[in-house]
Each structure stands twice: as C-alpha cells, then as structure tokens.
Amino acid sequence: MISQGAAFLDRSGKVVAAGDGFRRGLGLAGGDMSADLLDRAERDPALRALLAGTGPDRLRLMESGNALELSRSQGENGMLLFVSSTDSGTTQDALEHAARSFAMTRLAAAVSHDIRNPLNAMALQIALLTEKLSSAGDEVVNATAGHLGSLRDQIARVNEVLRRFLEVTEPGAPFGYLDLGGLVADLTALLGHEARHRGIELVLEPPSGPVRASADPARAGRLLLAIFARTLAETPEGARLVARTFTEGVEVAVRWDHPRGAAVPELADVPEVVSRSAEAMGGRLLIQGTPEAEALELRLPKHVHP
C-alpha cells in the first residue's frame, strides 16, 4: 500500500517511508520529503492541523488542478497518511454546487429588492392612514394607534432583516475598506434564529475599536458566511459559541470559539476552501483545537489609511 499513495510518519512528524504515489500526489520533491511536507503544511492550516492531529482526519486538497483526498490513520508510534484522487463526478458535483450557490445568492438579492419595494409602499400608506385618522377625533386615534404602531414596527423589522441579508450577500465598501465588525454583527443577527432553535448561546463580543479590512468585500463576505455557518452547524446543541473581531498588527481577524460537536460531512471542505481563498487575498485561516473544543480565526489584511 505504501507504493500506491501512502506514507508513514513517526511521532515527531518525520516521513519514515513513502511511496511514489504519495510523493507525486502531493507534489513533493524527491529529496527531504519530511522538510517538503512540513513546508507545505506551514502554508496550509488545514494540512497542518491534520498532521498535528488537531483537525479532521480527512481533507481535500488541490494539486496541479487535481482534487485529492488526504486521510490520516493515527497509531501509537506514528500515523499513516493515504492520498487518493477524488472521482470526477465528485469534483463536478462540487463545481455545480458552487455555481448554484452563486446563482442563488444573486437570486436572493433580487427577491429581497422586490420585497422591499412593497414594504416601503405599505409604510407610506400607513403614514397616510395615520394622518387621515388624526382628524377623526381622539377616540379613533387612540383606538388605532397601537395597531398602526405595530404594523410600522413589523415593517421596520423586515426591512432591517433584508438590509442585513443584502449586506452579507453583497457587502459594499464605499469608503475603500470592509467594515469587518459590522459584517460579523449582521451575520450574527441573521444566524441567531438557528442558534435559538438549537439552544445555542450565540455571543458577539464588541470590538474595542474599528475593525477594517483591505479585501474584496463580496469574496470576504462569502468566506465569513461559509466558515460562520459551518462553525455554528458543528456546535453542539445547548453549547456556547463566541464570536469576536479585533485588530492585531497588520491584520484584522474574526475569531470563533466553540465546543466540538458532530462533524457535518457536507461542510467538510469549507475550511480548506476558506483557507485557500483567504490566502489569495493576503489573509489566512487559523484552526486550533482539542478533541473537546475548537478555535478558528479568519485573518485579513488591515486597511491602512493612505
């Protein structure tokens, strides 16, 4: 099996034996394979977590345009790593899912816009009705004030939900930077329903100051939505999930701390996808954890005033 895409690493992480299939699959040089594997792991947080035994025991990688699956089998004296190509059908499914997700985002934004128009028209009609009723006497005004006020509040509530949704799906950067703190606050509010339904205490710690990123707003928004949704989905019912944004040096970050729950197979690729996309924007995804808990940090370049 070693000659067909597998390797054995001792407890220190040194490659004791490896087959050509493993080396070719991961694009490792023929010299010091341990050093090459370590160097690649330093550039790939998901791979680093797998080798350290703190992350999932299976992950997907892209190597020269090919989708690969790397799995870990832990033993007392080290670990076995197996690399294999994923079938073309699985890759095609992933591409189709990505295309559908992009289209659904656009469609949802269009639907939200169409919902907002009649809501604004309703708010205008309520204002006109309130004005007309004011001439009918205090008794009528007092009898209808509570009902009209409730309608105005509900319209405002729906408008606020739509505002948050549009800001998350298509975030803007009118001042040349992405307001990471505001974006995470909107996401926390939108995901609050799922958290409450599952009895999860979703906590957003306020930042000590502005948290502004220099990044493509739409792309960063997609990454935040993906990793936040995955983290919430894998938080056990009744547990506590804490999110916070902060600035550290030349980076800004979003951090999530939560107990580990059952893994969601459909979301297994999310950390890898987010990690690679973050690196393409000059950022990184850091994952730390124990068998009981996990901490994730999505870091992006800090916006610097010109």
Q: Are residues 188 and 267 in the same domain?
A: yes
The answer to the question of residue 119 being in a domain is yes
Strands (E), the chain: 6-10, 15-18, 58-63, 66-74, 78-85, 178-179, 201-205, 212-213, 240-248, 251-259, 284-289, 293-301
Q: Tell me which DSSP letter residue 170 carries.
A: S
Report the pLDDT value the prediction gives residue 107, as an integer from 0 to 100.
54
Q: Which of 115, 196, 98 is nearest to 159 (CA)?
A: 115
Domain containing residue 195: CATH number: 3.30.565.10
Q: Note down the domain range covering 37.
A: 2-86
Domain containing residue 49: CATH number: 3.30.450.20
DSSP count for the chain of H helices, then E strands: 9, 12
- Note whether 119 and 159 are within 8 A (CB): yes
Across-strand partners of 201? 240
Please state, in angstroms and rounded to a whole number, the distance separating the CA atoms of residues 270 and 267.
5
The answer to the question of residue 155 being in a domain is yes
Report the pLDDT value the prediction gives residue 111, as an integer from 0 to 100.
64
Burial class (CB in 10 A: 0-12, 13-18, 19+), 292: exposed
Q: Are residues 219 and 247 in the same domain?
A: yes
Report the pLDDT value the prediction gives residue 104, as an integer from 0 to 100.
57
Q: Are residues 182 and 295 in the same domain?
A: yes
Q: Are residues 38 and 120 in the same domain?
A: no
Q: Are residues 183 and 288 in the same domain?
A: yes
For 108-165, write each residue's pLDDT tens digit. Answer: 666 666 777 788 888 888 888 888 888 877 888 788 888 888 888 888 888 777 777 7
Report the pLDDT value the prediction gives residue 268, as an integer from 0 to 100.
81
Pairing of strands 15-18, 66-74: unpaired
The answer to the question of residue 133 being in a domain is yes
Helix (H) or strand (E) holding 306: none
Please state, in angstroms and rounded to a whole number, the distance separating the CA atoms of residues 226 and 233.
11
Q: Are residues 26 and 61 in the same domain?
A: yes
The answer to the question of residue 306 being in a domain is no
Counted domains in the chain: 3
Q: Are residues 158 and 269 in the same domain?
A: no
115, 137, 169 - which closes a domain: 169
Q: Are residues 161 and 187 in the same domain?
A: no
Q: Are residues 286 and 200 in the same domain?
A: yes
Q: Are residues 212 and 264 in the same domain?
A: yes
- 3-state SS, residue 153: helix
Report the pLDDT value the prediction gives residue 16, as an integer from 0 to 100.
81
Tracing tokens 């707003």 back to the chain, one arrives at 217
The answer to the question of residue 208 being in a domain is yes
Which residues, other chains included, contact 38 with Cβ-Cβ below 8 Å and sequence gap of 6+? 13
114, 138, 169 - which closes a domain: 169
Please state, in angstroms and rounded to a whole number, the distance separating the CA atoms of residues 39 and 29.
11
Q: Are residues 43 and 55 in the same domain?
A: yes
- Note whether 63 and 83 are within 8 A (CB): no
Tracing tokens 């999930």 back to the chain, one arrives at 241
Report the pLDDT value the prediction gives residue 134, as an integer from 0 to 100.
81
86, 104, 121 - which closes a domain: 86
Each of the 306 residues of the chain gets a pLDDT tens digit; together they read: 333 477 888 878 888 877 777 777 777 766 678 888 888 888 888 888 888 887 777 887 776 656 778 888 877 777 888 887 655 444 445 544 554 565 555 556 666 667 777 888 888 888 888 888 888 778 887 888 888 888 888 888 887 777 777 677 667 667 788 999 999 998 898 888 889 989 999 999 999 899 999 988 888 888 898 899 899 999 999 999 999 999 999 999 999 999 999 988 878 878 888 888 889 889 999 999 898 999 999 999 999 876
Q: Are residues 95 and 68 in the same domain?
A: no
Q: Which of 104, 70, 69 is nearest to 90 (CA)?
A: 69
Please state, in angstroms and rounded to a whole number, the distance separating the CA atoms of residues 126 and 131.
9
